[in-house]
Amino acid sequence: MTVELLEQKVDEVTAEPRAFQSVEKRKFLLGLLLVLVTIALYSPVARAPFLNYDDALHVTDNPHVRAGLTWKTFVWAFKTGETSDWHPITWMSHALDCEIFGAGPMGPHVINVLLHAANALLLFLLLENATGFLWRSLGVAALFALHPINVESVAWISERKDVLSMFFFLLALGAYGWYVRRPGIGRYLLVTVAYALSLMSKAQAITFPFALLLLDYWPLRRVGPVNSRFFKLVLEKIPWFALSAASALITIKVEADATQSTLPLWAHLANAVVSYGKYLGKTLWPVDLAIVYPHPG
């Protein structure tokens, strides 16, 4: 056997399967694997019941939600401050569950799992598209999909707001990347609508404009050496900052009306600092997890 023939045989043995020779096929198969693993991991929650913590407030004992997706429910969802939150899109998603699946818990659980799997896939595709790093992007998305700290958001029906808000948040990020490649009013409006839907699912999305500025720096590299260019990028995001501010004000008002907390402002600010630290700690070492961490006051 000649040396050339031997090298050819070695190349044939060590070559990647045909399905992995194309980057797009590789991306598709890895994304499919990510979705299937996520669904498999969370599949047991489909048999779980409602929680007796606050699922009654959100679903089982809520007449507006149980009525299904009616016009009255739509109006109520935008006006209510029940459960100390303003999240009309989340309310309507619960109502849609009742419309489609009836009063049982299996349907809402399955939707939560599917939303989480979709979020993991979106994160993978967004990172890979922005950075070009396939395996690193898969690693980050898999960590997000499988990390124990996210179990609460998926397995608890009342936390639909987390997975739903993240879904629209990631869609808004994807739309922003599309807008950056070829700016236009239609693409800008698409980012705005997706971001508004994220805010109306849960107010945690208010950091979106700041996240975009980070993306402008890397990996989009839109921030140049000239300071004026940075200010143009900030001005570009003024409407999104305005949406964040409006959502924050609505949330503060709703929570103040609902909780009537006697704790001073400094205690709330200090608690926020401690909570961020604790959250980062549990991200690195996920032990002693709970659905609520009561303030000692």
Range with the poorest average pLDDT among 80-94, 128-142, 158-172, 226-240: 226-240
- The Cα-based distances of 242 to 85, 206, 247, 278 in angstroms read 19, 10, 9, 30
pLDDT of residue 295: 81
State the chain's mean pLDDT as an integer.
90
Round to whole Å and give the CA distance between 252 and 126: 32
Q: Which amino acid is residue 39, in one-letter code?
A: I
pLDDT of the residue at 51: 93
Residue 20's pLDDT is what?
A: 59
Q: How far apart are CA 18 and CA 216, in angstroms?
A: 36
Q: Is the pLDDT of residue 100 over 60?
A: yes
For residue 13, pLDDT over 50 is answered with: no
CA angle 223, 224, 226 (to 5 degrees): 120
Task: State what percent of residues in the chain have pLDDT above 70.
Answer: 90
Read off the pLDDT of each residue in 172-184 and give the average, rounded to a whole number.
96
pLDDT-based confidence at 297, cuts 50/70/90? confident
Cα–Cα distance for residue pair 243/210, rounded to 1 Å = 13
pLDDT 10s digits, 272-286: 899 999 999 999 999
Band (pLDDT 50/70/90 cuts) for residue 226 is low
Average the pLDDT over 109-117 and give the result: 98
What's the confidence (pLDDT) of residue 82? 87
Helix axes of 160-181 and 208-217: crossing angle, nearest 10 degrees: 40
State the distance between the two ends of the chain, measured CA to CA, in whole angstroms. Answer: 81
Q: Give the number of other CB atoms < 10 A from CB of residue 77.
A: 23
Task: Read off the pLDDT of each residue in 227-250 and give the average, rounded to a whole number.
Answer: 92
Residues 40-65: tens digit of each pLDDT: 999 999 999 999 999 999 999 999 99
Which pLDDT band, with edges at 50, 70 and 90, does 10 fall under? very low
